[in-house]
Structure 1
Amino acid sequence: MAAAAQQPITYTLSFPNAVHHEADIKVVFAELPAGLFSVRMARSSPGRYALHEFAKNIYKVKAYNSVGQEITLTRPNPHQWDIPSHDGTVTITYTLFGDRADGTYNGISEEHVHLNMPATLMYGLGLDNRARLVQFNLPAGKNWQIATQLKKETTPNTYTAPHLQYLMDSPVEISDLKFSEWQLPAQNKTIRIALHTQAGDKAFADYTTKAKKVVAEAGAVFGQFPDYDFNSYTFLACYGPQAVGDGMEHRNSTFITSSQPLENNVNTHLSTFSHEYFHSWNVERIRPKSLEPFNYAEANMSGELWFAEGFTNYYGDLVLCRSGVNTVTEYAQNISAELNHVLNSPGHQYFSPVQMSYQAPFVDAAQSIDPVNRVNTYISYYPFGSVIGLALDLTLRTRFKIITLDTYMQAIWRKHGQPEIPYTLTDLENILGSVTRDPEFAQAFFQQHIYGLKLADYKFLLAQAGFLLRPVNPNKASLGLTLLNFRNNAAVIQTGTLVGSPLYQAGLDREDVIQTIAGKKINSYNDLAAALAAHKPGDRVNITYTPRVGASKETIVTLIPDPQLEAVPYETAGLPLTKQMKAFRASWLSSKVKSGRK
Structure 2
Amino acid sequence: MMRKTAALLLLGLPLAFGRPAAAQAPIQYAVAFPNAVHHEARVTVTFTEVPTGPLQVRMARSSPGRYALHEFAKNVYDVQATDSKGKVLSVVKPDPYGWDVTGHDGTVRFTYTLFGDRTDGTYAGIDSRHAHLNMPATLAFARGLEQRPAEVKFDMPAGWTVASQLRPDAAKGTYYAPNMQYLMDSPTSLGPQKVRSWQEKGKTIELQVLHDGTDAELDAYANNTKKVVKEAAAIFGGLPDYDFGRYTFVANYLPQTSGDGMEHRNSTSLTSNRPLRGPGAIDNLGTVSHEFFHSWNVERIRPKDLEPFNFEQANMSSGLWFAEGFTQYYGELLLRRAGVYSDDEYCQEALSGLVGAMLTSPGAKRYSPVYMSQQAPFVDAAAAIDPNNRSNTYLSYYYIGGANALALDLELRQRFKTDLDTYMRTLWKQHGEPQRNYAPANPYTLADLQRVLGQVTKDTAFAGQFFRQHIFGHELPNYEALLAPAGMLVRPAKAGQASLAARLQFNPDSTATLGGTLMGSPLYAAGLDREDVVLKLDGKKPINAKELQTRLAAHKPGDVVQVEVKARDGVRTVPVTLMEDPTLEVVTYEQAGKPVSKAQKKFRAAWLSSKAK
TM-score by length of 2: 0.94
Residues 491 and 426 (structure 1 numbering): CA distance in 2 closer, same or farther, change over 3 Å?
Answer: farther
RMSD over equivalenced CA pairs, Å: 1.3
> What SS class does the counterpart of residue 15 from structure 1 fall into?
strand
Q: Could you tell me which of 242, 248, 259 is aligned with 2:256?
A: 242
**Offset at residue 156 of structure 1 (A):** 5.7
- Listed one character per residue, the Cα deviations across residues 305-324 of structure 1 (whole Å, up to 9, x for unaligned) are 00000000000000000000
- Return the alpha-carbon distance in structure 2 between the equivalents of residues 75 and 455 of structure 1: 51
**Offset at residue 473 of structure 1 (A):** 1.7
Instruction: In structure 1, give the amino acid aligned to 2:29.
Output: Y
The answer to whether structure 1 residue 137 and structure 2 residue 155 are counterparts is yes
In structure 2, what is the equivalent of residue 555 of structure 1? Answer: 574
- Whether the 8 Å contact between 2:46 and 2:110 is mirrored in structure 1 is yes
Instruction: In structure 2, give the amino acid aligned to 1:291.
Output: L
**Offset at residue 9 of structure 1 (A):** 0.6
Q: Could you tell me which of 100, 116, 122 is aligned with 2:118?
A: 100
Mind listing any 5+ residue stretches in structure 2 that lack a counterpart? 1-14, 435-439
Q: Could you tell me which of 175, 192, 202 is aligned with 2:216?
A: 202
In structure 2, what is the equivalent of residue 578 of structure 1? Answer: 597
- Listed one character per residue, the Cα deviations across residues 202-259 of structure 1 (whole Å, up to 9, x for unaligned) are 1011001111000000111111210001100000111021210000000000000001
- Whether the 8 Å contact between 2:422 and 2:456 is mirrored in structure 1 is yes
- Whether the 8 Å contact between 2:505 and 2:515 is mirrored in structure 1 is no
**Offset at residue 85 of structure 1 (A):** 2.9
- Return the alpha-carbon distance in structure 1 between the equivalents of residues 453 and 510 of structure 2: 53
- Return the alpha-carbon distance in structure 1 between the equivalents of residues 176 and 511 of structure 2: 57
In structure 1, what is the equivalent of residue 477 of structure 2? Answer: 456
Instruction: In structure 2, give the amino acid aligned to 1:571.
Output: E
- Return the alpha-carbon distance in structure 1 between the equivalents of residues 62 and 584 of structure 2: 37
Q: Sequence identity of aligned pairs in percent?
A: 55
- Return the alpha-carbon distance in structure 2 between the equivalents of residues 163 and 326 of structure 1: 41
- Listed one character per residue, the Cα deviations across residues 471-500 of structure 1 (whole Å, up to 9, x for unaligned) are 0122111112x2101111334344210011
In structure 2, what is the equivalent of residue 339 of structure 1? Answer: 355
Instruction: In structure 2, give the amino acid aligned to 1:116.
Output: N
**Offset at residue 325 of structure 1 (A):** 1.1
Instruction: In structure 1, give the amino acid aligned to 2:408.
Output: L
In structure 2, what is the equivalent of residue 400 of structure 1? Answer: 416
> What SS class does the counterpart of residue 93 from structure 1 fall into?
strand
- Return the alpha-carbon distance in structure 2 between the equivalents of residues 109 and 427 of structure 1: 46
84-93 vs 306-315, which moves further: 84-93
In structure 1, what is the equivalent of residue 137 of structure 2? Answer: 119
In structure 1, what is the equivalent of residue 443 of structure 2? Answer: 422
- Return the alpha-carbon distance in structure 2 between the equivalents of residues 86 and 469 of structure 1: 68
- Return the alpha-carbon distance in structure 2 between the equivalents of residues 511 and 338 of structure 1: 29
- Whether the 8 Å contact between 1:286 and 1:412 is mirrored in structure 2 is yes
- Listed one character per residue, the Cα deviations across residues 121-162 of structure 1 (whole Å, up to 9, x for unaligned) are 0000000111101111112xx311111000110236411111
TM-score by length of 1: 0.97
- Whether the 8 Å contact between 1:50 and 1:365 is mirrored in structure 2 is yes
In structure 1, what is the equivalent of residue 437 of structure 2? Answer: none
In structure 1, what is the equivalent of residue 267 of structure 2? Answer: 253
Q: Could you tell me which of 321, 342, 355 is aligned with 1:306?
A: 321
Instruction: In structure 2, give the amino acid aligned to 1:541.
Output: V
The answer to whether structure 1 residue 8 and structure 2 residue 26 are counterparts is yes
**Offset at residue 349 of structure 1 (A):** 2.7
Instruction: In structure 2, give the amino acid aligned to 1:574.
Output: G
The answer to whether structure 1 residue 268 and structure 2 residue 268 are counterparts is no
Q: Could you tell me which of 369, 373, 382 is aligned with 1:366?
A: 382
**Offset at residue 463 of structure 1 (A):** 1.0
Instruction: In structure 1, give the amino acid aligned to 2:573.
Output: E
**Offset at residue 345 of structure 1 (A):** 1.1
In structure 1, what is the equivalent of residue 330 of structure 2? Answer: 315
Q: Could you tell me which of 283, 293, 299 is aligned with 2:298?
A: 283
Instruction: In structure 1, give the amino acid aligned to 2:313.
Output: E
Q: Could you tell me which of 543, 555, 562 is aligned with 1:523?
A: 543
**Offset at residue 542 of structure 1 (A):** 1.2
> What SS class does the counterpart of residue 43 from structure 2 fall into?
strand
The answer to whether structure 1 residue 45 and structure 2 residue 66 are counterparts is no
- Return the alpha-carbon distance in structure 2 between the equivalents of residues 564 and 170 of structure 1: 40
> What SS class does the counterpart of residue 553 from structure 1 fall into?
strand
- Listed one character per residue, the Cα deviations across residues 390-426 of structure 1 (whole Å, up to 9, x for unaligned) are 000001011112x100010000000000013100000
**Offset at residue 86 of structure 1 (A):** 1.7
In structure 1, what is the equivalent of residue 6 of structure 2? Answer: none
- Return the alpha-carbon distance in structure 2 between the equivalents of residues 13 and 476 of structure 1: 59
In structure 1, what is the equivalent of residue 108 of structure 2? Answer: 90
Instruction: In structure 1, give the amino acid aligned to 2:197.
Output: E
- Return the alpha-carbon distance in structure 2 between the equivalents of residues 458 and 516 of structure 1: 39
In structure 2, what is the equivalent of residue 325 of structure 1? Answer: 340
Instruction: In structure 2, give the amino acid aligned to 1:451.
Output: F
**Offset at residue 6 of structure 1 (A):** 1.9
Aligned residue pair count: 587
> What SS class does the counterpart of residue 192 from structure 1 fall into?
strand
- Whether the 8 Å contact between 2:514 and 2:533 is mirrored in structure 1 is no
- Return the alpha-carbon distance in structure 2 between the equivalents of residues 67 and 214 of structure 1: 54
The answer to whether structure 1 residue 437 and structure 2 residue 455 are counterparts is no
The answer to whether structure 1 residue 147 and structure 2 residue 163 are counterparts is yes
- Return the alpha-carbon distance in structure 1 between the equivalents of residues 124 and 305 of structure 2: 27
- Whether the 8 Å contact between 1:490 and 1:514 is mirrored in structure 2 is no
